[in-house]
Amino acid sequence: MSGRLHFLPQTMIKPLVSIITLTYNHERFIRTCIESVLHQSYGRFEHIIIDDGSTDTTEQIVRSFHDSRIRYVRLPHEGLATMGKRYNEALRMARGELIAILEGDDFWPYDKLAKQAPLFENSSVVFSWGKVRQVDHNDQEIDSVPLFSLDTSLWRNEPIGAVLQKLLFFNPIRSPSVMLRTSTLRNIGGFIQPPSLPLVDYPTWLHFALQGTFATTNEVVGFYRIHPVQVTSNQGGNIEEMVALYALSFLSTVSSVIRAQFELSGEAVSKNYERRKVSRFCTEGRRLLLRQEWRAARARYAHALRYGDFLTRLKGALGITASLLHFDMEFLAKILHRPRLR
């Protein structure tokens, strides 16, 4: 060497990814979550773990990992109502150019970061997402979400705002598949949690739809866990109604130019959520079957059978049969619970 300093071109420097994990009483799952991060083939990351006052052994499990990339913060328990506050505390700590989200009960394939980080080399990309596999509390696959191709200009949000034609009607974007450009997230004020919603993902996705293009992949880049004590699963029906109200509220803030360009209307959003309210009985019934709460599951499916359209009534009839015979019907889930676009 001549003694001169040699620098890598900017395009060859891998961006630092700040991984944000919120956890609460995830002693059964947090080890798998952290190990899936440490086993990533892409090693330039920091893992920020915010513990919302767990009362089980979550803290001991996290502290058993000795890796300088893990940053663990334990805070007093405040619950779902302050989820946005917790996420934004992690965002203030984040040093990475990119943000990846991984809840304490979810996990990743080993190449998740390697697949998605390079997608942000395109400066117009502010958001990346892909497919996930839903698994139960025993890591058994339940479903793949979404089941349709993401390789379209609409799901890539081209032109900007296009994805609202779908995202206002249903949300197929699961957080373990998501990666965000940090500067854009800070520009919109961080993670967004309206007072009425016990979640941050959907409101934040909607705001990103007006900021830039999305990069999508049809490969599995996350594992999303459904389990009996999952709070948002147990409140599904109430959340669905709150999401509908938020979608209408958000649409009212969208410029008339965007609304006209993509033919977005509050009436269409309202009608869609009325239909989904009935369909939700099937989703709740399915989760009750998983928990072997046969009578409660049967009541949900009975509502679907009474009030739903043809497909929803079919799900209701099969769900009632499953509840009477005491089996969870998961072998039919891929057929019966595919996301419907509108």
In a domain, 59, yes or no: yes
- What average pLDDT does this structure show over 278-304? 83
Q: Is residue 151 part of a domain?
A: yes
Structural domain includes residue 287: yes
Residue 51 and residue 112 in one domain: yes
pLDDT for residue 9:
52
Question: Lowest mean pLDDT: which of 31-40, 160-169, 206-215, 330-339?
Answer: 330-339
Arithmetic mean of pLDDT, 189-201: 93
Residues 330 and 183 in one domain: no
Domain annotation covers residue 27:
yes
Q: Is residue 227 domain-shared with residue 269, that is, in the same domain?
A: no
In a domain, 129, yes or no: yes
145 has a pLDDT exceeding 70: yes
Q: What are phi and psi of 85, to 5 degrees?
A: -60, -45
Under a CB-based contact definition with an 8 Å cutoff, are residues 126 and 209 in contact?
no
Residue 252 lies in a domain: no
Q: Which residue, of 185, 208, 232, is where some domain finishes? A: 232
Query: Are 295 and 188 members of one domain?
Result: no
On whether both 225 and 297 belong to a single domain, the answer is: no
In a domain, 250, yes or no: no
At residue 140, the pLDDT reads 85
Instruction: Decide which of 89 and 232 is more confident.
Output: 89
233-247, 290-304, 312-326: which range is least confident on average?
Answer: 233-247
205 and 296 housed in the same domain: no
Whether residues 278 and 140 fall in one domain: no
Residue 141 and residue 223 in one domain: yes
pLDDT at residue 332, as a whole number: 55
Helix intervals (H) in the chain? 30-38, 58-63, 83-93, 112-116, 164-167, 182-187, 201-208, 231-234, 236-253, 256-261, 266-290, 294-307, 310-325, 333-336
Quote the crossing angle between the two packed helices 294-307 and 266-290, to the nearest 10°. 150
Query: Quick one: which of 179, 181, 177, 265 has its CA closest to 223?
Result: 177
Of 10-19, 28-37, 61-70, 93-102, least confident by mean pLDDT is 10-19
pLDDT at 189: 97
Q: What is the mean pLDDT of residues 314-332?
A: 79
Same domain for 45 and 192, yes or no, is: yes
Is the confidence at residue 30, as pLDDT, over 50? Answer: yes
Tens digit of each residue's pLDDT (9 = 90 or more) over 231-261: 555 455 577 788 888 999 999 999 999 999 9
Higher local confidence (pLDDT), 290 or 12: 290
- Measured in degrees and rounded to the nearest 5, phi and psi for residue 99 equal -115, 135
- Helix-helix angle 236-253:201-208, to 10 degrees: 20
CATH number at residue 214: 3.90.550.10
Distance of alpha carbon 285 from alpha carbon 319, whole angstroms? 7
Whether 270 and 216 share a structural domain: no
Assign residue 335 a region: left if phi > 0, alpha if psi is -120 to 50, beta otherwise?
alpha
pLDDT at 130 over 60: yes
56, 204: one domain: yes
Q: Into how many domains does the chain fold?
A: 2
Q: Looking at residues 64-92, what average pLDDT do you find?
A: 96
β-bridge partners, 74: 51
Boundaries of domain holding 272: 265-336
State residue 161's pLDDT score: 98
Mean pLDDT of the chain: 88
Confidence of residue 5 (pLDDT cuts 50, 70, 90): very low
Predicted local confidence at residue 183, as pLDDT: 98
Q: Are residues 113 and 60 in the same domain?
A: yes
Task: Provide mean pLDDT across the span 38-62.
Answer: 97
User: For residue 95, is it within any domain?
Assistant: yes
Final residue belonging to a domain, choices 175, 209, 232? 232
